[in-house]
A and B are shown apart, each in its own frame.
Chain A
């Protein structure tokens, strides 16, 4: 049973990479969305699922990466643009990390959300001071190339999340989640571990943001730092289940496909249907898709 998950992952990545070969631009677009949400949800889980510090502000990393990529795209080779887009939010996380990670529980949730909004409005002001009113991107790579980059990020984020969970580092983070005070008493360097987890979870969203802006072909701070990105990440991780590495993958695929199916089939009603589906899910499948699979598998076996 256990062996099928890596296989499933390889098949999935292969399918996504092959999507452009079908020549259907719409399928390429859907594959891009799914890979994007996997990369984001998986990155989020590196901090929030492991330590229990729930971030409601991951849009800030996505937005910073997007902004940096848009500023650089005409000036540097594309791989370098992505690299800088990934490093910029990591630096930001390193700077804000220590003070932000001193608060816990609901205060941490609100603080991350507020921080993301603060940066959003800051960038809006910078942009209007620079005399820029939305930036059009003319030199973006093709949608196919962007998809391949995005799949690479989804794979990297998944491997990264797996590595974190199966390491001493991950054990330390789990100790923080279970009882931070006790962990500290036992000699776990909690402040350092939390900071590293925050930085690790900021890197890939930066590159994802860069790719997403290239895909849209247009940058405007209100959209790049859209809090809906943060909300969607958390929703997907919860739908998928936060107990395992496959949870965010299943949540991202399930949620992205569902919302795609709903908005295209019920354009007038889909938000209502989506909301109802979410409520039902949280009420009846609290362990997430991943837990549901375990339960069904357990019953069968």
Chain B
């Protein structure tokens, strides 16, 4: 009896030890590890990030592999796990990737909570990772970092830019509906003072839980106050809920923001013409000809997946891989050299040149996009816009 359990224990242990070895022996490819939320409340966002990873891998390998200093090229392969939308799992998975799977490089998971939870892990193992789908002013506390944020959608500058954009378009009153998750709440905390500064009146200020299944009562309240602008600080899952119910109720405000979600191709497919006029967070558009690399990425993505890349998540994901690739070509796989290269270099991306100041992208302006005739157009700031803001005409 005792022997049997012992044997079972040994067998289990042996299995766990052997499982990752199969891939470790093939020393040739550069192995890149990441975790992503394939299940749970963030699952709707995962394809926007995993597709660019897959496309990037395909392109790099087709070109003979990832370039190292001296011109040597090695193919790349991904090692990935599901973090179930739980930051505690993200931490354990990256520890596993670093210490057990012994990957050469890391790619980012989806979402601000996951990135925030990872910062101390990267610090502990001194493993650099270019972040993508996350932003928070809190990350400025981590210094000197092993993590960087490609996006310029950092809540403090977004609050100010949103208020400026509302003012520029003559909006005098707003309703704010915010998801309780950290990124939306952080944006809200910078948005409210910025609105006040611009003299814009806040008629409704409500928060709702991340797993909300019904927003009707909130939207009825908003409709009753008829604000000029409805600012829904959504995550992808509730962006669909918000839009569906706002359409049913016929919300009449000419300015409608849904923070994260509308840039996903499936959103436009789901709502068709009703999605026209929705404003969302992004600083890149496949429609822009400002950035030569951008159009190539857009076309390759559409050709491979039969849908458009998410102007926010897919774009920042692609940028993070461009940066990693250029830094590795310069510094190789040594973690300290790589960290130095990322922290000090200037990189050529689909969103123009990127250089980091601390953890932040210091070059790309914070922007907003609007869906117009089914296309994602940059409407703010004026310097990079591809179209003018148009008031929303019904649903």
Question: Is there contact, CB below 8 Å, between B91 and A216?
Answer: yes
B34 to chain A, nearest CB (A): 11
A258 to chain B, nearest CB (A): 9
Contact code string A269-291 (vs B, CB < 8 Å = 1, else 0): 01100000000000000000000
Q: Which residue of chain B has its CB nearest to the CB of A25?
A: B99
With A133-B186, A136-B141, A222-B180 known as contacts, the answer to whether A217 contacts B99 (CB < 8 A) is no
B76-117 interface code vs A (CB 8 A; 1 in, 0 out): 000011100011100110011011100000000000110011
- Would you give the 0/1 interface string for A50-79, flagging 1 where the beta carbon is closer than 8 Å to chain B? 000000000000000000000000000000
Give Cα A228 to B1, complex, Å: 34
Contact B113 A223, beta carbon cutoff 8 Å:
yes
Minimal beta-carbon separation of B99 from chain A (angstroms)? 4
The interface-forming segment of A107-115, A120-128, A145-153, A196-204 is: A120-128
Q: A267 to chain B: which residues have CB within 8 Å? A: 80-82
- In the complex, the chain B residue whose C-beta lies closest to that of A140 is B120
State how many angstroms separate the Cβ of B244 from the closest Cβ of chain A.
23
**In this assembly, does B168 line the interface, its C-beta being within 8 Å of a C-beta of chain A?**
no
Q: For the complex, is A185 an interface residue (Cβ under 8 Å from B)? A: no
Decide yes or no whether A4 CB sits under 8 A from chain B.
yes
Contacts of B185 in A (CB 8 A): 127-128, 133
Measured CA separation A144–B178 after assembly (Å)? 39
Given known pairs A29-B96, A125-B207, A212-B88, the reply for A264 and B20 (CB within 8 Å) is yes
B344 at the interface (CB under 8 A from A): no
Contacts known (A26-B95, A261-B12); A134 close to B112, Cβ less than 8 A: yes
Residues of A within 8 A of B (CB): 4, 24-26, 29, 33, 121, 124-125, 127-128, 131, 133-134, 136-138, 140, 212, 215-218, 220, 222-223, 226, 228, 257, 260-261, 263-265, 267-268, 270-271, 293, 296-297, 300
Known: A134-B112, A267-B82. 9 other contacts (CB 8 A): A4-B2, A29-B92, A128-B178, A128-B188, A136-B116, A216-B87, A220-B87, A220-B181, A264-B96
Those 6 A-B pairs whose CB atoms lie nearest each other, nearest first: A218-B117, A133-B182, A134-B182, A133-B186, A217-B120, A26-B100
List 27 A-B residue pairs with CB atoms under 8 Å apart, sorted by A's residue number.
A24-B99, A25-B98, A26-B96, A26-B100, A128-B189, A133-B185, A134-B138, A136-B120, A138-B141, A215-B88, A215-B91, A216-B87, A216-B88, A216-B117, A217-B117, A220-B87, A220-B181, A220-B182, A223-B86, A223-B113, A257-B12, A261-B15, A264-B19, A267-B81, A268-B38, A293-B5, A297-B1
